Amino acid sequence: MPSESAHPSDASGVPRGLAEDRVMKRVFLSPAVVILLALSIFPLLWSLGISFTDMQRGGSTIARQAAAEGIESGVGFLGLGFELTGRNYARLLGDTRLHSTVRNTMIYVFFGVCIQYSIGLGLATVLNQPFRGRNIVRVIFLMPMMMTPVAAAYTGRMFFDSNPLRSPLAHFFRELSKALQLENNISIPWFTDLGWAPVAILIIDAWQWIPFMTLILLAGMQAIPEDIYEAARVDGANAAQIFARITLPILLPISLTVILIRGLEIFKIIDVIVVTTGGGPGSATESLTLYIFEQALSNGNYGYASAIAYVLLVLVIIFAMLFLAAGRRLGGLRAS
Amino acid sequence: MTKKAKAKRRNWRSSRRPLWQSALLYAIVIFWCFIVLFPFYWLGTTSVKRPIDVSRGPKYIPYRDFQPIPDHWEEMFGSQRESTERHFRNSLVSAIGSTILSVIIGAMAGYGLSRFRYFWGRLGWDNDNIAFWIISQRFLPPAIFIVPFLLLYNFFGLVDTYAGLILAYTMFNIPFAVWIMRDFFDGLPVDLEESARVDGATRWQAFLRIVLPLSAPGLVAVAIFSFIFAWNEYLFALMLTNYQAITMPVLIAGQNNTRGIEWWFISALTLMAVVPVIIMGLLLERFITRGLTAGAVKG
C-alpha cells in the first residue's frame, strides 16, 4: 500500500541535473515496470483471452475436428486463431467439483485468518511484556516460518497420522484416554474424514504462519509510545481496558494489513494440500489453485483452467476491495 | 493521592506484576515453545531412527527409547549424493539469482518512486498510483499465471532452466521489494544526496555511493524475503521444471510416491532444506524486524 507521507522534493532545484534527471527517472523505474508488464500484465490479459477459447494441450478440439475433415484452419501458435467461445464460463456453473473447491478455499481463508490473527495477537501481547529470555523466545517463535511449506506439510502428516504407533499426537490421545479411563480411545481420523481433513490443513498452515502475524503485530505494539499507557494508567484504567481501548484501536490499521496479506496468501494454498491429502477425501480439501493446476497440467484443459483462474481472481479482488474499503473508512490503512 | 504517591505507585505497577501473571506468562511461553520446537525435534530424531523404530514407536528419547543410527544422513550424502547436491544447488542458484535481481531492480524502482515525480499521462497515474499498481501485482493469485507461463516457457525453451525459475521468482519478488525500498528511501533525508550532487556527483553516483550504503537494513530485509520466498516456492518449481532444475521443495514433495514414504529420509531432507533459511534468519533476525518496522508500522 502506498504511504501517504509527503515525498521529498524532486531535488530538481539543481538546474544542472534537470535534463539528466529526466532520463534517470526513467532508468530507475523502467526495469521493474518492464518485467511486470511482460511477466504479469501480459500473461494476465492473455489468460483472459485463453479463457474464451477451447484451447487444449495439443491444439483445440475444433481445430482437430477441422483437420480430420481435411479443412485447413487458421490455428496458429500461442493460442492465436482459436475460435472464441463462452463455453468455459457456462461450464463453470454446472461444475460441482469447482463449487466445492470454492467453498473449501473460502473456509481456509476465513478460518485460517481468524485462527492465525487471534493466536498471533495473543503471542505478540505476551512477547511485548518484559521477561527473562525474551530475545531467544522471540527467535524460537519465528522458526516455523522458516520451514519450507512442503516440509511443514510432511511434518504435519507425521503428527496427524492416526496410528498411535507412528504418530506422537495419536499416541498422546491414546495415553490421555487411558489416563481418563474413557471407554473409547480418542482417535481422530485426521486425513480420512471429510470434516477433519480441512482442520488438519488449517492447523498446519496456522502453525507455520502464526509467527508472521506475531512478528508484525509485535512491531506495531512496540511502536506505541509508552506515555499513552502511562496516561491511561494514571486515569485508573486496568490492563483489559488498556488493551481494548488503546492497543487494539491503534493496531487496527496494521491488523487490517496483516489480515489482508495472510488472507491473500491463503487464497494461493496448494503445497500443504498436495503433500497431505492430495485434495481428498473426494474433493473435501481441494483448493481452487490445486484444481486449476490439475485442470491445466493433468487434463491439459488450458481454456477451462484459465476460466477457473479468473473465478479465483474475482474472489481475490472482492476480498481485497473489502479490506481496502474498510481500511479507508477506519482512517486508512496508512495511519500509524 | 499526592502526586508523589501516584508516581511511586505507577513505577511499582510498571516494573512489577502480580505473581499469577508472571506464572501465566511463562506457562504460555513454554507451551508455545514446545508447540514450535517439538516438530523440529521430531524431524531430527526421525532422521536418525531405524525404520522399525518409526513404524513401531513412537520412540521419543535417543539412547533410551531407540538407538540412533547415521544411515539416512550417510545415504543422503553417499548413495544419493548426486541427487541431493543437484537439487540443493538448483534451489540455491534460483533463490540467490532471483534475490540479487529483485534487490537491484526493487531498489532502483523504489528510489525512483521516492525521489522523482512521475505522471503517466494516459492513465492519469502519479507515484502513489504506480506504487499501488506494483504492489497489487504481488497479490495476484499465481494460479492465473499457470497456463500462460506454461505456453510462454515452452515457446521460449525456458522450461527446466535456471533462467526460467529466476525470471519467474524475480517477477514475484519485485513488487514487495519496490514497496519496502520505497518506504525505506522515504525515511532517508535527501540532504546528503543533494550535497553530493552540489559537489559534482551524478544522480547515479549519489545513488550508488550514498543512498545504497545507508539503506543496508532495508536491502537486507528485501534480500531475506526474496530468498525465503524463492527457496520455499513450490507451484512454479513443480510446473516449470522436470529434471535438471528441480528444486528442494519439489524433491521433498515427490518423496511421496517413489519408494513409499520413507519418513526417516524425508526428515533428513527436510532438515537440510531448512538449514540455509534458519542460518539467514538467525543471523539477520534483527534486520528483519528493523526492515519490517520501517515498512509495516508506517505503511
Closest by Cβ to B116, choosing from A10, A14, A336: A10
Most confident of A39-53, A106-120, A291-305: A106-120
Q: Find residues 116-175 of chain A whose CB sits inside 8 Å of chain B.
A: 122-123, 126, 129, 131, 137-155, 158-159, 164-168, 171
Residue A118 within a domain: yes
Task: Report the range of poorest mean pLDDT among A116-120, A300-304, B170-174.
Answer: A300-304
Residue A112 within a domain: yes
Residue A149 within a domain: yes
Residue B154 within a domain: yes
Element of type H or E holding B119:
strand B119-120
Residue B174 has which C-alpha cell? 519485485
Check B147 against A47: CB less than 8 A apart: yes
Residue A219 within a domain: yes
Residue A179 within a domain: yes
Contact with chain B for residue A316, Cβ under 8 A? yes
Choose from A10, A18, A39, A136 for mutation: most chain B CBs within 10 A. A39
A100 min Cα distance to partner chain B (Å): 17
Structure ipTM over 0.95, yes or no: no
Q: What is the CATH number of the domain that holds A321?
A: 1.10.3720.10
Choose from B6, B20, B29 for mutation: most chain A CBs within 10 A. B29
User: Distance of alpha carbon A289 from its chain centroid, rounded?
Assistant: 11
Residue A249 within a domain: yes
Q: Is the pLDDT of residue A242 over 90?
A: no
Domain of A231 in residue numbering reads as: 104-303+315-329
DSSP 8-state secondary structure symbol assigned to residue B66: B
Q: Is the pLDDT of residue B199 over 50?
A: yes
- The residue of chain B with its CA nearest to that of A36 is B171
Element of type H or E holding A20:
helix A17-36
Distance CA B113, CA B119 (A): 11
Using one digit for the tens of pLDDT, what is the confidence trace for B70-94?
Answer: 878 888 888 888 888 899 999 999 9
Q: Which amino acid is at B20?
A: W
Q: According to the model, what pLDDT value does residue B111 have?
A: 92
Which is more confidently placed, A247 or B55?
A247
Using one digit for the tens of pLDDT, what is the confidence trace for B39-59?
Answer: 999 998 888 888 877 777 787
Residue B229 within a domain: yes
How large is the average pLDDT for residues B184-201? 86
Number of structural domains (chain B) is 1
Residue B17 within a domain: no
Most confident of A76-85, A106-115, B174-183: A106-115
DSSP, collapsed to helix, strand or coil, labels residue A53 as strand
Q: What is the CATH number of the domain that holds B104?
A: 1.10.3720.10
Residue B295 within a domain: no
Using one digit for the tens of pLDDT, what is the confidence trace for A248-280?
Answer: 888 888 888 889 989 999 999 999 999 888 887
As to burial, measured by CB atoms within 10 angstroms (0-12 exposed, 13-18 middle, 19+ buried), residue B28 is middle
**Cβ atoms of B176 and B138 closer than 8 Å:** yes
Q: According to the model, what pLDDT value does residue A59 have?
A: 60
Element of type H or E holding B190:
none
Q: Is the pLDDT of residue A73 over 70?
A: no
Q: According to the model, what pLDDT value does residue B11 have?
A: 44
Phi, psi of B276, deg, nearest 5: -60, -40
Q: According to the model, what pLDDT value does residue B165 have?
A: 94
| Residues from chain A contacting residue B148 (CB–CB below 8 Å) | 42-44, 46-47, 50
Domain of B132 in residue numbering reads as: 86-264
Q: Is the pLDDT of residue A336 over 60?
A: no
Residue A202 within a domain: yes
| Residues from chain A contacting residue B57 (CB–CB below 8 Å) | 165-166, 171
Q: According to the model, what pLDDT value does residue B80 have?
A: 81
Q: Is the pLDDT of residue A79 over 70?
A: no
Residue B167 within a domain: yes
Number of structural domains (chain A) is 1
Residue B42 within a domain: no
Residue A243 within a domain: yes
At A201, is the pLDDT very low, low, confident or very high (cuts 50, 70, 90)? very high
